[in-house]
Structure 1
Amino acid sequence: MTVRILVDADACPVKDEIYTVALRHQVAVVVVANSYLRIPEHKLISRKIVSDGFDAADDWIAEAAGPDAIVVTADIPLADRSLKAGARVISPSGKPFTDDSIGTAMATRSIMADRRVGVAGIGAGGPPPFSKADRSRFLSALDAAIVAAKRAQG
């Protein structure tokens, strides 16, 4: 099996960075989305458009994930499913999801969801704005994940 990157692309702010790192390492990228997204024309970069059904892109990625995959997503339940399939998982901010950290992330997500519902219509805010530091951290994390995945394959 060859290392590949599966991108949960609909709201991914680091697609260009993914292409840059992947091409440098000669790693295939599959951009998964609910609708058409432009991608660079390159033999290593492809798109998978899934139905616009709820979680259709997540389902496709989770089924395609495995030990040969690096999944890029901010979606914590998808990260959990991908880890269980044996994939390496990185958030767009560069934070790796691991077997040790995913339980805490899932619990925090649940608490925050309950908190948002409890404020009855008052916006509890979202994640902080995406920063240059996030972008830099992501580039380093993706590079490290690719190197580790290639090393694991022998």
Structure 2
Amino acid sequence: MRILVDGDSCPVLDIISHIAKKNNIELLVFTDLNHQHQLEYAKIITVDQGFQSVDMRLYNQSKADDIIITSDYGLAALALSEQTAVISFSGREFTNNNIERLLAHRHRQFKERRRTARHTSHKKRSEKDDLRFKNKLLEIIKRFR
């Protein structure tokens, strides 16, 4: 078991690093040249800028029983095909039972934004969000061991 992180704009890197170190789990953080991270317990894999370059490198490195951390639905769908566990930065677990619905919802939202030129904003991250993420990651680690 390893933890692979889509490191571009990941708000929970410190939590992941702490948990990986405490549980002696290899941690790989994938990022492009525009997002540099300094983490004590992680192997940082930097890729060139490019559309989906981080996602494709992470996916190509993944294997069964890895834990993938991303908020990208497309990457989540690909990773699930490799029999990995996938969770978002907010602690939502992506599964074969919910990924199609989430992808369809994302597509509808995209079409609506294009039609109305409406910008959606995200609510500010809270300690509750961090706790939900931490608990879900620990739950998955326990399940995989």
* TM-score bucket of the superposed structures, by smaller chain: over 0.9
1:29 maps to what in 2?
Answer: 27
Choose which of 112, 130, 141 in structure 1 pairs with 2:125: 130
When normalised by structure 2's length, the TM-score is: 0.94
Within 5 Å, give how 1:46-61 maps onto structure 2.
46-61=43-58
- 1:142 counterpart = 2:137: yes
Q: Secondary structure at the match of 2:63?
A: coil
1:58 CA drift (Å): 0.3
Identity of aligned residues (%): 30
Given the alignment, which residue of 86, 91, 98 partners 1:89?
86
Structure 2 residue 39 is the aligned partner of structure 1 residue 40: yes
In the alignment, the residues of structure 1 paired with residue 50 and residue 39 of structure 2 have an alpha-carbon distance, to the nearest angstrom, of 26
Equivalence for 2:17: 19
TM-score (norm 1): 0.89
**Residue from 109, 114, 117 that aligns with 1:112:** 109
Cα distance in 1, alignment partners of residues 109 and 64 from structure 2: 31
Q: CA contact under 8 A between 1:65 and 1:86: conserved in structure 2?
A: no
- For 1:86 and 1:76, locate their aligned partners in 2 and report how far apart those are by CA, in whole Å: 15
Pairwise CA RMSD = 1.2
- What whole-Å deviation, never above 9, does each CA across 1:25-80 have from its counterpart, x for those lacking one? 110110100125223234xx101001101100000111122213100000000000
- Which 4+ stretches in 1 moved above 3 angstroms? none
Residues matched between the structures, number: 144
Q: Which runs of 5+ in 2 are unaligned?
A: none
